[in-house]
Structure 1
Amino acid sequence: MKNNSQTTAEQHNITIWEIKKDRLTAMQHKLFDTPKLLSVAAGRTTCSIFKVPQTLVDVNGKSYQPHIISVGPFHHGKAQLEMIEEHKWRFLRQLLDRTKAKGIVLEDYLRAVQPLEVMARECYSETIPYSTDEFIEMMVLDGCFIIELFRKFGEVVEVDEHDPLIKMSWIVSFFLRDLIRLENQIPFFVLECLFELTKTPRSPTLASLTLGFFNLVVQRPENVLKKYANIKAKHLLDLLRLTFLPPELEKSTKQENRPPPHVIHNISKLRRAGIKLKPHEAESFLVISFKNGVIHMPTITIDDFMSAFLLNVVAFEQCHSGCSTHFTTYVTLLDCLINTSRDVGYLCDWNIIENYFGTDAEAATLINNMGKDISFDIDECYLARLFDNVNHHYHSGWHVQWASLKYTYFNSPWSFLSALAAFLLLILTIAQTAYTILGYVRPP
């Protein structure tokens, strides 16, 4: 019996060891596995197209996902995007019909993009599961569709008067939003490669066509668009973002006896301290200044397009390692100024915001959600000096008390009349008391 027990124990130990050995082998294989959901290349500056972090998706819902058109691999093949997928082949056929006169056929498009495959794959934060042939086909099809779309709206090529993608306004509005979603991009150098292969001698630049298309909704002056006719970008979202960046501002310097900068109060509190907001003309709504108790801000239109643009460009700045944080700073400023629908109402009254998004409460919720779960360094942001100066003005003594007094007693005609009546009553009471005392001190 003793020998049998020893044998059983030995067999048990061997079984355990085999299990451990299998587990050890599996662990050793995992040591050399390459991360797929967030590739090692995602931290490089060459990576520019990201899956939006789940924390932002949880706050802002489907603002990062395309609604009618898929561009690139992240949303490729989804059923709800099949409608436009069919029209991509129609646009490609029309392009081929034009270029065949120059001897350029479909095979030439594929050959032109093939050398860019490795570099294009490295632009995505996830490992792309498609084969070389599938990936190149996707780049060519999506890239040619975007270029043809821009040419049609730029009236560079002939447009079918009954083309539903051009004539149906609801489709156009979704194109404008879907083409600036961070997850819905292809590298700009792929677009440039296809554009150079298919352009005509007198064609505008690709950047000009792109900005002309988005100007359907942004509506900036023609001279601004010409200024960025040859701008280089990482993708369409980045291109539009770059055209809004303000010129280099003077960097904030630490002043003696000043605490480090902090975020500012909402506009309801600032106005009680005498701080006002005034609109001013500028090429970009990011150009903001503070002087003599007044924050000067260009007017911004808050609508479906601008909300999608701000959300996606902030996500891009959060993910891209070599990117400035201008839009993150701007969104943080709006989030500071606005806490409630009343704050939105003040900014609308002062022409800082044109609200086409919904009610004041809906606009307040949108702006507050933009500022949630984002990384922000107030010491390094381009508005650090503004935050510092506004806070210093807010806490600086007598003028704040005087502004609060004016806000309380002179904010409306009725409050002024009430304050005046109380003041006259006080004067009369003092006069009556003085005459009474004089009657006792110096009787007649």
Structure 2
Amino acid sequence: MTSKWRGDMKRELESGNSGKQEESHHRVCIYRVPSSLRRIKPKAYTPKNISIGPYHHGAPHLRDMEDLKKRFYRRLFNNNSNEAKLGEAFKFLEKEQHQVRRFYNEEIKLSPDKFLKMVLVDGSFIVQLLRELSKCEFRKVPPSLSPWMLPIIRYEMIMLENQLPMFVLNKLFELTSADSAPSGPTITLKDLALRFFYPLLQVDSNYIADSKKAGELSELHFLDLLRSSIMPNNILESGKADVERKSKPHMIRSVTELMEAGVKIKADERKKLLDISFGKNLGFSGRKLTIPALYINDHTCTVFRNMVAFENCHQDCDRMVTAYLFFFNGLVNSAGDVSFLRYKGVIHHSLGNDNTVSKLINNITKEIVLDKHKWYLYKVVNEANEYSDTFYARVRASLVHQYFTSWVVIASTLGSLLVLYFTFIQIVFSFGKLSKAFENQSFGSVIYNVLCLPYICWINLN
């Protein structure tokens, strides 16, 4: 038996250089989307118009935008104040080239020269674009862009495979900010980026920069920044989702089931998108589920899919967006559930009809497995389900389900109640007349007459 295989396996261990691999592994944050997710919705992960970073650089169908990016690069550095900074940018990128490469989870085969040119041109394009948009308060399209370009650029710049490390963009922004800094409060690249990308979620397209709050957000890249901006404040402050493990996890009941059990559903425009709560309904019996408004369109789905891909690839982050989508997957079981949420202001959509939205919500978590013991909505889901299992909630749900499921049943139930009501009134008046008739009789005589009354009436009728 040959021993060659033993030598091969030993050399494999030696060539691994585990220390460097481990260091590189911890830096990785820009991933190729797993094929299991890509095959469900390929166009959600693949840019069709513009490439940012190395993954799609040089693709034939994306070359038209290269000239545009170079024009933005020239506008950024081709002036008296920034021209001197170009040398500093060269030195910075040459020094950090290996670090930048380590942010990607697969080997980048571009030569050092091509790689550095790509990073500088793409980074300059992003910085200059955000600067030009900030000068017009993000209300107008820069003259250098056609109106149709900006929504597409915004849409494709948030894709996981279309990212540059944030520290590179921050450096380029700092180097070129001397002549463009406003006289008011300092505006950071984070502020500009959030204002640029917020319309994708329509959370607040008039986003007002808050440097203090923006400073608390994670910033590996733009997708990570936008993802952290929609997290609840308590999780941002603690840095970790609160996990409850006292009872078995379940998917939350559907909107219809919760409504029948007496749970009130309320929209809250002031909260961040992932900040969902469950508690007592003040002044009334029952409970209240508070959900921030969710705006659904074609772009929203792409953003969520890329956030989920990032969470499922990156080890050092809580899978909060994934948990949020699983929550809605349980909440929505039909077009009727979507219709009710739309009526309550929880869901706003532009996809044509509620059935389309229902299918989209139920399909967006396909090929994803969530550890339900490790999700931030664990407590909300369990409290809602436990309340739905209480005696009061089950009786109420049974009554609502049997007697108030449709207008026909409701009308029939109300009709029956009215008949009973008028019958009761008639009986009361009848007893009033009888009481006068028996006014001067003894108690025994009254009982005897009441018991004999049906028999006497029967004899008279015959």
In which range does the TM-score fall when normalised by the shorter chain?
0.7 to 0.9
- The corresponding residue for 1:212 is 195
The reply to whether residue 268 of structure 1 matches residue 256 of structure 2 is yes
Query: Using the alignment, how far apart are the partners of 2:417 and 2:320 within structure 1?
Result: 50
Query: Does the CA-based 8 Å contact 1:211-1:225 persist in structure 2?
Result: no
Output aligned runs, 1:53-72, within 5 Å. Answer: 53-72=34-53
- CA shift, 1:276, in A, is 3.1
Query: Using the alignment, how far apart are the partners of 2:452 and 2:107 within structure 1?
Result: 93
Query: Does the CA-based 8 Å contact 2:191-2:209 persist in structure 1?
Result: no
The reply to whether residue 177 of structure 1 matches residue 155 of structure 2 is yes
The reply to whether residue 198 of structure 1 matches residue 192 of structure 2 is no
The reply to whether residue 241 of structure 1 matches residue 222 of structure 2 is no
Query: Does the CA-based 8 Å contact 2:195-2:205 persist in structure 1?
Result: no
- The corresponding residue for 1:85 is 66
Query: Using the alignment, how far apart are the partners of 1:299 and 1:90 within structure 2?
Result: 39
Query: Does the CA-based 8 Å contact 2:163-2:222 persist in structure 1?
Result: yes
Instruction: Pick from 99, 104, 114 the counterpart of residue 134 of structure 1.
Output: 114
The reply to whether residue 338 of structure 1 matches residue 332 of structure 2 is yes
- The corresponding residue for 1:45 is 26
- The corresponding residue for 2:98 is 118
- Normalising by structure 1, what TM-score? 0.82
The reply to whether residue 373 of structure 1 matches residue 359 of structure 2 is no
**Equivalent position SS for 2:39:** helix
Query: Using the alignment, how far apart are the partners of 2:458 and 2:24 within structure 1?
Result: 93
- The corresponding residue for 1:73 is 54
Query: Using the alignment, how far apart are the partners of 1:283 and 1:439 within structure 2?
Result: 68
| AA in 2 matched with 1:211 | L
- CA shift, 1:104, in A, is 1.7
Query: Does the CA-based 8 Å contact 2:49-2:65 persist in structure 1?
Result: yes
| AA in 1 matched with 2:27 | T
| AA in 2 matched with 1:397 | F
Query: Does the CA-based 8 Å contact 2:243-2:379 persist in structure 1?
Result: yes
| AA in 2 matched with 1:297 | I
Query: Using the alignment, how far apart are the partners of 1:43 and 1:200 within structure 2?
Result: 34
Query: Using the alignment, how far apart are the partners of 1:42 and 1:339 within structure 2?
Result: 45
- What is the identity percentage for the equivalent residue pairs of Structure 1 and Structure 2? 30
- 1:318-352 deviation digits (Å, cap 9, x = unpaired): 11111122211111111111123232222112111
Instruction: Pick from 164, 168, 177 the counterpart of residue 186 of structure 1.
Output: 164
Taking structure 1 as reference, are residues 403 and 152 closer, same or farther at Cα in structure 2, changes over 3 Å only? same
Mark the runs of 5 or more structure 1 residues left unpaired by the alignment.
1-16
| AA in 2 matched with 1:399 | A
Instruction: Pick from 336, 347, 355 the counterpart of residue 349 of structure 2.
Output: 355
Taking structure 1 as reference, are residues 394 and 113 closer, same or farther at Cα in structure 2, changes over 3 Å only? same
**Bigger mean CA offset, 59-68 vs 120-129:** 59-68
Query: Does the CA-based 8 Å contact 2:403-2:413 persist in structure 1?
Result: yes
Mark the runs of 5 or more structure 2 residues left unpaired by the alignment.
236-240, 281-286, 428-449
Query: Using the alignment, how far apart are the partners of 2:452 and 2:37 within structure 1?
Result: 73
**Bigger mean CA offset, 235-244 vs 354-363:** 354-363
- The corresponding residue for 2:288 is 294
